[in-house]
Chains A and B, each alone.
Chain A
Amino acid sequence: MKRTERDADLREELESHIEFAAAEYVRRGATPAEARRRALAESGGIQQAVEAVRERRRTAWMEHVVRDAGYALRSLARRTSFTVSLVTMLAVGTGVLAAAGSAAYVIVFRALPYGAGDALLHLRHVSEPGHDGVMFSVPEVEELRARIAAVVRIATYSPWPITVTTPRGAVRMQAALVDGAYFETLGHAPLIGRTVGAVDDRPQAPPVAVLGRRFWLAEYAGDPSIVGRSILVDGLPVAVIGVVPDAPVYPYPADLYANASISSHHASAQMELGWTHRMSEVIARLRPGTTAAAARSAITSAHSEMVAAHPDAYESRGSWSIVVQPLREAMATRARPALLAVGLGALLLFLVTAANAGNLALVRSAARGGELAVRMAFGATPGRIRGQLFVENLLVAAPTAVVSGLVCAGSLSQLADLLSRYTPRAAELRFEPSTMLAVAFLLAVLTCALTLLVPLAEARGLEVGGRGPPVSGASRALVSLQVALAVLLLGGAAVLGRALQRIEELDRGYDGDRIVAVSVPLLTPEMVVDPSAAAEGRARYAALADSLRHLDGVVKVGLGAPAPLQRAGFSSGVEAQVPARNLLESRTTAELRIADTAFFSAARVRMLAGRDFNGGDSLGGPPVAIVNAALALRLFGDRPAVGARIRLVGDELRFTPFNRAWMKVVGVCEGNGGDATDTLPVSAVYLPFAQAPPLGGVLVVRTDVRAGELLERIGSVLERMAPDSPVGQLETLTMYRARQREPERLNAALTGAWAVIALIIAVTGVASVQMMSTRARRREIGIRMAMGATPTVIGWMFLVQGLRLVGIGLTAGFVAALVLARPFSELVVRATPDAPMVIGAGVVVAASGLVAAWIPARQAARIDPVEAMR
């Protein structure tokens, strides 16, 4: 009824009341006019009555909402732990899933942040099927450009490490040396100033640089006047011409773009003319109206024509090929397995939390069965109860959405960290309130709806007398699912913990607390062309090492590259002069490392055979090398390596400062040279610092005190002696290792925490469902007891029923573990899921499940048959 209708109805009712009263006065002898006057006077006023009724109607409606909200708040506050766990469950599940989903969307589906977006292709040059790509040489690019100009426009960039002197000091960074077509082809417009164009491509063009926004903000505080000024790049002034928005550069990241003039190497004739001098990445943009498929076939055939036309430039002609891939896909490729793993993990987490939330609601509604029944008995309609539960869930949903948003933002930054190893687009992962909150909120509402369904279903089946509704199959399945998840998570946590333990055992080779390693690059590959500069660099290292040696507590100062525990940036083919007979190949691949005479002893790397480098291994002396145990085994099998001759091989060597001279192996050192998270032992060959080409340098300082306190003094020496050098992180090996282990540690800890939560929830689930079951079957229990069943029999009946739930869950968990074991072990370094760990997890879950099933069974056994049958 509308308000006006209700008022008219009321007025008519009041009018009839007056007529009744007036009729009574007439009957007693009053005149009709007098009777009506008296009746009206007694009424207290029609208008006042209408107002009073209206007021009552209004407050009645508001009273309901206020009372519901108050009631819900009290009810939630009374169950703080329930409310907190419910909000946490829902928020964690939805927040992490929303983050994973949005990461997948941004990295796999969203258009690239370039003007040309999805029209961009990445061209990968492959020398052998299955190998990583090599780059393109300038003549190759020229020839390709001519052959495929009709379908695509081509742009190139060459990744190049540089040292920039910024207001905050020297920074070592990756730059992209781009051609004049690069920015226009990609549609990468400047924020301020201009970008590199055709005018900067001319020979003798002045060196210019374009800054990425992130670098500009970090190093120049976003000062727009930087455009037009000069900055020092590798010691030479370079004019800054513009700033561009951040955008992913693939496959090599770059925060600074420059023309080729900043590198004498790139401007050299060798670079311009060498057919196999491959240093450029190629990006192509589809011409309007051309499809990616048409472009691909045109590029592929142009490439094979080019290979056929230059037989001498392609060593094994048949296997050279070109891979054409949309740039967006190329950038996402390596991140896909991680995204899939994260997505599956998030989904699993969501299921766990949703199951937990549903279960919590079940437990709560069981606990409130009596309360709701009483309310219904006193005339609360199912509608009123539903309304009350709805208000209650709204009160839960609001904080959940907020917490979920926070969880989502946190997970996104973690994900960006993780994915930055696999895709340059990870930097685009940002918490965007509009989309993110919507996703998180939707999920929260979805999950709340799931929660809402449970008590509603229960409310409908309620009867007076405190007997609960029968436990549905769905609830039982939910509980079994939780048991299964608990098994999986507990097993997973065990495997992760074991993997971490193994890694840390392997790490124990170094006395990391007393060894400091810091990268101080005084030598650069540029010094190859200028031997006097290299000599000066070596002299500065000697002086630096000398001042460090004089510090109190310093025992030994070694020099080499890279630091112990770190992977080398450069690998090469290595060949033995006299290969072992029983080995299939006489050559293998090894990391190239550099060490001076003190490096091994400073880093406490033992010689297993032969000798360390010594003063005789000098620049003019016979070339020597030390191999690590893994390389010795691969090249020589069980024959002695010391005394044998090896050399570096491979096409790529031509463009490096290394040569192919035979070297005598003087020693075999221990260790895989790399990091314990590398699953295979890494082969490494060490060249003497005095003989090797300049490759940068790492100072290794061994101390006889815990080195932590020495760090500051070492830092001040470095600041004094190498002020213009981009000094790396100054830390002990232990600190470095701890930093490296953080993700694994975090993973293991998180999985462990989740496993514990999952176990607790599974136990609560089993217990609560069984309690509901006993409640629903009270009368049946009474009858059975009256017919002669002993409490023990009843107890057993419920215990078996509960254990069946646990059993189903265990079986499902084991099956899932079998299926997931392989992908899991491929995903996690040094994780080898084995039966004992999963069975161990199963035993823990089964024991907890037994306790969980026993409590309600004991309750059932204690039921008084007379009470139950009333």
Chain B
Amino acid sequence: MAGRQEIQQGTLALMILRTLEVLGPLHGYGIALRIEETSRNRVNLNYGTLYPALVKLETEKAIKAEWRLSENNRRAKYYTLTPAGRKLLARERRDWHATTELIAAFLAPPKSAG
């Protein structure tokens, strides 16, 4: 898939948590759609990537799942952010910023002396 980015390990969890924080309870398709849209289709999520990540977050109790009816009356499994999930998101976000700042500082053109 030329032009499309591989998702780095760990960043998908951050994307999922952030999506749920912004949009509230959402099913797997909705999460995938939102991530693809937000990335302007640079990220393509197949099920084998998305669902294991959801399971992992669920066992860590960062999100919880329940079956509901969607607006157009389809049965779908909706995921909701838990308080622990919010804390996890806060930490991941902090770590992410710290990392990107660090990397940015490294990659910045060296300042000339004086």
- Known A-B contacts A20-B74, A60-B59, A379-B84; the reply to A49 vs B29 at CB < 8 A is no
Residues of B within 8 A of A19 (CB): 74
Asked if A60 and B74 sit within 8 Å, CB to CB, the answer is no
New A-B contacts (11) at CB < 8 Å, excluding given A16-B27, A44-B46, A56-B56: A14-B47, A16-B28, A16-B76, A19-B74, A23-B72, A42-B44, A49-B48, A52-B47, A53-B52, A379-B84, A381-B61
Judge whether A17 is part of the interface by a CB distance below 8 angstroms: yes
The digit string for B70-102, where 1 denotes a CB below 8 A from any CB of A, is 101011110000001101100100000000000
Asked if B74 and A16 sit within 8 Å, CB to CB, the answer is yes
Asked if A43 and B29 sit within 8 Å, CB to CB, the answer is no
In the complex, what's the smallest C-beta–C-beta distance from A357 to chain B, in angstroms? Answer: 33
Asked if A17 and B28 sit within 8 Å, CB to CB, the answer is yes
User: Which of A7-34 touch B at CB < 8 Å?
Assistant: 9-10, 12-14, 16-17, 19-21, 23
Q: Complex Cα distance A14/B48, Å?
A: 10
Which among A9, A49, A56, A378 is the interface contact of B91 at CB below 8 angstroms? A378
A-B CB contact pairs (8 Å), 24 listed: A9-B77, A10-B51, A13-B51, A13-B76, A14-B28, A16-B74, A16-B77, A17-B27, A17-B28, A17-B32, A21-B29, A43-B47, A44-B49, A45-B46, A46-B47, A49-B46, A49-B47, A52-B47, A52-B48, A52-B49, A53-B55, A56-B52, A57-B55, A379-B85
Q: Complex Cα distance A722/B103, Å?
A: 94
Asked if A60 and B76 sit within 8 Å, CB to CB, the answer is no
Q: Complex Cα distance A377/B87, Å?
A: 8
Judge whether A4 is part of the interface by a CB distance below 8 angstroms: no
Residues of A within 8 A of B91 (CB): 378
By beta carbon, the residue of chain B nearest A43 is: B47
Q: Complex Cα distance A757/B85, Å?
A: 48
Residues of A within 8 A of B74 (CB): 16, 19-20
Residues of B within 8 A of A13 (CB): 27-28, 51, 76-77
Task: Report the contact-size class of chain B (Cβ under 8 Å from the partner).
Answer: 20 to 34
Judge whether B62 is part of the interface by a CB distance below 8 angstroms: yes
The digit string for A368-381, where 1 denotes a CB below 8 A from any CB of B, is 00000000011101
In the complex, what's the smallest C-beta–C-beta distance from A393 to chain B, in angstroms? Answer: 24
In the complex, what's the smallest C-beta–C-beta distance from A387 to chain B, in angstroms? Answer: 13
In the complex, what's the smallest C-beta–C-beta distance from B10 to chain A, in angstroms? Answer: 14
Which among B30, B56, B77, B87 is the interface contact of A379 at CB below 8 angstroms? B87
Residues of B within 8 A of A381 (CB): 61
Judge whether A656 is part of the interface by a CB distance below 8 angstroms: no
Judge whether A48 is part of the interface by a CB distance below 8 angstroms: yes
Asked if B59 and A49 sit within 8 Å, CB to CB, the answer is no
Q: Complex Cα distance A792/B92, Å?
A: 45
Minimum-distance CB pairs A-B, first 4? A44-B46, A379-B84, A49-B47, A56-B52
Which among B27, B46, B61, B85 is the interface contact of A20 at CB below 8 angstroms? B27
| A positions within 8 Å CB-CB of B | 9-10, 12-14, 16-17, 19-21, 23, 42-46, 48-49, 51-53, 55-57, 60, 377-379, 381
Q: Complex Cα distance A773/B98, Å?
A: 37
Q: Complex Cα distance A378/B90, Å?
A: 10
Which among A43, A53, A57, A378 is the interface contact of B87 at CB below 8 angstroms? A378
Q: Complex Cα distance A9/B58, Å?
A: 14
Asked if B46 and A14 sit within 8 Å, CB to CB, the answer is no
Most buried by A among B62, B72, B77, B88: B77
Q: Complex Cα distance A442/B70, Å?
A: 57
Residues of B within 8 A of A21 (CB): 29
Asked if A60 and B55 sit within 8 Å, CB to CB, the answer is yes
Residues of B within 8 A of A43 (CB): 46-47
By beta carbon, the residue of chain B nearest A51 is: B48
Residues of A within 8 A of B77 (CB): 9, 12-13, 16
By beta carbon, the residue of chain B nearest A16 is: B76
Residues of A within 8 A of B76 (CB): 13, 16, 20
Q: Complex Cα distance A48/B55, Å?
A: 15
Q: Complex Cα distance A377/B84, Å?
A: 8
- Known A-B contacts A20-B74, A379-B62; the reply to A14 vs B51 at CB < 8 A is yes
Residues of B within 8 A of A57 (CB): 55, 59
Residues of A within 8 A of B62 (CB): 379
Residues of A within 8 A of B60 (CB): 379
Residues of A within 8 A of B72 (CB): 23
- Known A-B contacts A16-B76, A42-B46; the reply to A53 vs B51 at CB < 8 A is yes
Residues of B within 8 A of A51 (CB): 48
Which among B29, B32, B46, B48 is the interface contact of A16 at CB below 8 angstroms? B29
